[in-house]
Amino acid sequence: MKVYISADIEGITGTTSWSETELNAPDYQLFQKQMTREVEAAIAGAIAGGATEILLKDAHDSARNLDISNLPINCKVIRGWTYDPMCMVAGLDESFDRAVFIGYHSKGGSERNPLAHTLCTYADVKINGEYASEFLINTYAAALHGVPVSFVSGDVGLTEEIQAVNEHIVTFATKEGIGNATISVSPQLTIMETKRLVESSMKVPRTALQVTLPEHFRVELIYRDHTRAYRNSFYPNAKFKPHNTVEFMTNDFYEVLRVLQFLT
Ligand SMILES: [Zn+2]
């Protein structure tokens, strides 16, 4: 069984401020370590649940966050950005049985995590009228290849969103955002539960985990800055909408990924 793991940092236990997520910032090391430990727990859980091969994507900022020294021999890791539209799930294809997302976070426009955003911090993303999370975008990206998501860890705003999308997807809430603060569980508890729940998520039938792709997509990118919105409205088939918004319509989710790759 092949498992794909994508790891971000803004939903890792304890992360609260941007400086804790930035490579080489003095505050970063503690959380880089915790991100690594949570990912190692997910890998251990996947292997205990039957994974024979794992592809891991470091998917935050520099994409060079994880300490890979202790990766098991059946695990490969993608560091850095491929620059293709699959982005945070680059390398995921039909050969995988399921995907796992670690350290994911609430969508841009949400008040549930002080680090909430979607893909970039200068625009929010809506799909079919609703603010969209990286979880939703990457779950749809995996669905394009017929691969279901079985486990996600992150803030409680995100885990509630996931339960509403598909209650069979197993989740673990690492923290809750309140204003510019967070209340986190013990990092030890996250590690214990990530291993246990990833393992049990390997046994959820794939059919129960499927998320259906909508037939039509209306993407709205709502920028902080109207000049960026105006510039990006010249992307093929995109149009400028007041205020600060670029709108793009398609029936093909890969075209959504392409527009997100170029305009966020
Ligand atoms: Zn991130």
Residues 29 and 73 in one domain: yes
The answer, as to whether pTM is greater than 0.75, is yes
Cα of 153 from ligand 1 centre, angstroms: 13
Distance between CA 31 and CA 78 in Å, rounded? 20
Looking at the predicted structure, is the pLDDT value of residue 184 above 90? Answer: yes
Q: What is the mean pLDDT of residues 52-78?
A: 98
Residues 225 and 161 in one domain: no
Distance between CA 63 and CA 164 in Å, rounded? 29
153 belongs to a structural domain: yes
125 belongs to a structural domain: no
Q: What is the mean pLDDT of residues 95-124?
A: 96
Residues 44 and 77 in one domain: yes
* Residue 22 CB partners (closer than 8 Å, separation 6+): 28, 61
Cα of 169 from ligand 1 centre, angstroms: 21
Residues 203 and 223 in one domain: no
Looking at the predicted structure, is the pLDDT value of residue 70 above 90? Answer: yes
Cα of 58 from ligand 1 centre, angstroms: 10
128 belongs to a structural domain: no
Residues 162 and 257 in one domain: no
Looking at the predicted structure, is the pLDDT value of residue 243 above 90? Answer: no
Cα of 255 from ligand 1 centre, angstroms: 22
Distance between CA 214 and CA 199 in Å, rounded? 30
Residues 221 and 150 in one domain: no
Average pLDDT of the chain, as a whole number:
97
Cα of 218 from ligand 1 centre, angstroms: 24
Cα of 195 from ligand 1 centre, angstroms: 21
84 belongs to a structural domain: yes
The torsion of the CA quartet 107, 110, 112, 115, rounded to 10 degrees, works out to: 60
> Whole domain around residue 198: which residue ranges?
2-117+133-209
Residues 197 and 229 in one domain: no
Residue 224, by phi and psi: left (phi above 0), alpha (psi -120 to 50) or beta?
alpha
Q: How far apart are the first and last CA of the chain?
A: 34
User: For 49-186, where are the alpha helices, taking DSSP H only?
Assistant: 134-144, 156-165
Residues 221 and 99 in one domain: no
Residues 160 and 254 in one domain: no
Cα of 2 from ligand 1 centre, angstroms: 24
Token pair 């069984």: residue: 1
